[in-house]
Amino acid sequence: MALALLAAMLLIAAWAPGYPPPLAAPPKVIATHANGKVVAEQEDDNDLRFYRLVIARVQRGDNYYVAATEEQRRNGYPVAPGLTVRLPTLAFVSAWAGPAGLIALEILLFAGMMLANARRFASEPGGERFRLIGLALLLMGISSGLNFRYNVLHEIWGAQLIALSFGLHRPDQGKWAGAWLAAAGALAVRELALPFVLLMAAWALWHRRWREGGAWLALIALFAALLALHLQLATAQIRPGDPVSPPWLVLGGISGFLYKVINSSVLSLLPVWLAGPMVILALFGWSGWKGPAGGFAALLLTGYALAFALAGRPNNFYWGVTITPLLLMGLAMAPMALPSLLRQAGLARG
């Protein structure tokens, strides 16, 4: 039954009924440099340009919520409800660090994420056999984050902080405080990290690690309080007649999930009939690793897949960045998981 389900999911992913068209690249504009040379340069994505406008205003001393809502109106973005306003953390950090400082922070975070996951692979049962390919796939999953143009995108930071937290989490060795701090950072940047923290709490409580579970629950409570404050401050800026966001609950199905992941990664360079099954195989690969890392990641990514199948419009594709680093690592385990499933189904010898 599991093999039949996997085969069906691969076929559906290759077909992806209702799959939206690929994203159009930002247009190129003619620019004249100071030396008089005329070149065609890629125009900045509207979202990235908007975030930079808000950061520039915060640097000048403007109130974040006033700046964000005014720029949303000016650039044709919805202002209501309050959730349309991003959490202010990244804007404050960007304004404080400046462009060069933000690049330095990005490099440090990337290095920490890679090192933490290399060590976790080495410490997990059977992890050494696919550590190198797993790290290469982790790099592939966050490759867009290596371009400084995208370092104002909240999901880039949230994704790396989630992956860092995952790599640091080794409670069997009494090591979970670092994972807690990294996850707190992810939550502070983007609320899409909440399912990760919720599963961390449930995972700790299920394994009767009461102290760790209590710490995760405290983080959830703290985030809920700060999110309520954020929504109050954002809602206070809404004016009568402000544009309202369309519903996020759109029931996109498997196409909605695949669209987010593929367009948030280098898989967008592949045809849909190939990229879609690769996403399914990555998810399946984690389920084949019978260690703590495999079990946790399989639950986490299945949960995100279901959430992205239910919520998120096509223009919310960048939500997929949140999980692509962890998800694509699962391809390293697929060559182990598939033969194991075939043996269990009696279709291959042990």
pLDDT in tens, 273-332: 999 999 999 999 999 888 889 999 999 999 999 999 999 988 899 999 999 999 999 999
Sign of CA dihedral 79, 247, 145, 44: negative
Nearest to 254 by CA among 8, 17, 22, 4: 17
Q: Which residue has the tokens 């660090």?
A: 97
Taking the C-alpha atoms of residue 333 and residue 2, their distance in angstroms, rounded to an integer, is 17
37 in a structural domain = no
Tell me the pTM: 0.92
Name the 3-class secondary structure at 71. helix
CB contact at 8 A, 268 and 325: no
Report residue 341's pLDDT band, with 50, 70 and 90 as the boundaries. confident
Domain that holds residue 307: 45-344
The number of folded domains in the chain is 1
pLDDT tens by residue, 226-246: 999 999 999 999 999 999 999
40 in a structural domain = no
pLDDT at 2 over 60: yes
197 in a structural domain = yes
Query: In whole numbers, what is the pLDDT of the chain averaged over residues?
Result: 91
User: Distances from the Cα of 46 to the Cαs of 75, 76, 134, 243, 332, in angstroms?
Assistant: 8, 10, 33, 17, 35
220 in a structural domain = yes
Task: Output the CA torsion 101→104→108→109 (10° steps).
Answer: 60
CB contact at 8 A, 217 and 201: yes
297 in a structural domain = yes
20 in a structural domain = no
2 in a structural domain = no
Q: What is the mean pLDDT of residues 174-187?
A: 96
CB contact at 8 A, 258 and 16: yes
Taking the C-alpha atoms of residue 225 and residue 51, their distance in angstroms, rounded to an integer, is 25
CA 142 to chain centre: 9
Length of the chain: 350
pLDDT at 79 over 80: yes
Taking the C-alpha atoms of residue 258 and residue 305, their distance in angstroms, rounded to an integer, is 8
CA atoms within 13 A on the CB side of 74: 11
17 in a structural domain = no
